[in-house]
């Protein structure tokens, strides 16, 4: 797996840390563990799926879905990150 450069240099996890581990868990079928590892994994998978569809399927319009999924993804990432770092170990 690719190492996180932010974590390597500063020791601080980034917003995307856990994506690869969570994707691996989803591929193995551990859906609950994947959600606990990185809650935004499902919106990320959906976003990638719809982006792929957008490039392949020219007839339909996926713009609203892509934009709303991207905003949702960013919000989930930030909230999960803040939760993981500031409220989890107290």
Partner 1 sequence: MENYQNQNDPQNYQNSNFNNGNENFIPSQLPNATAILVLGIISILGSCCFYGIVGLICGIIALVLAKKSTSLYKQNPNAYTNYSNVNTGRILAIIGIVLSVLMIIFIVFMISVVGMEALTDQQLMQERIQEFFQQYQ
| Contact residues for partner 1, defined by CB under 8 A | 4-6, 9-12, 14-17, 51, 54, 61, 63, 66-67, 70-71, 73-74, 77-78, 85-86, 89-90
The least distance separating partner 1 from the CB of residue 25, rounded to whole angstroms, comes to 19
* Closest of 36, 37, 31 to residue 1, by C-alpha: 37
CB 71 within 8 A of CB 43: no
Q: Which is nearer to partner 1, 24 or 67 (CB)?
A: 67
H-run or E-run covering 74: helix 63-86
The least distance separating partner 1 from the CB of residue 87, rounded to whole angstroms, comes to 10
Measure Cα distances from 67 to 9, 42, 86 in Å. 32, 15, 29
Q: Which is nearer to partner 1, 35 or 72 (CB)?
A: 72
């Amino acid at each position: 797996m690719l190492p996180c450069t932010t974590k390597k240099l500063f020791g601080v996890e980034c917003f995307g840390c856990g994506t690869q581990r969570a994707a691996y868990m989803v591929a193995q079928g551990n859906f609950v563990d994947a959600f606990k590892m990185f809650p935004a994994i499902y919106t990320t998978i959906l976003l990638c799926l719809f982006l792929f569809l957008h490039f392949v399927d020219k007839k339909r319009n996926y713009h609203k879905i892509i934009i709303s999924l991207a905003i949702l993804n960013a919000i989930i990432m930030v909230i999960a990150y803040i939760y993981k770092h500031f409220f989890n170990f107290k």
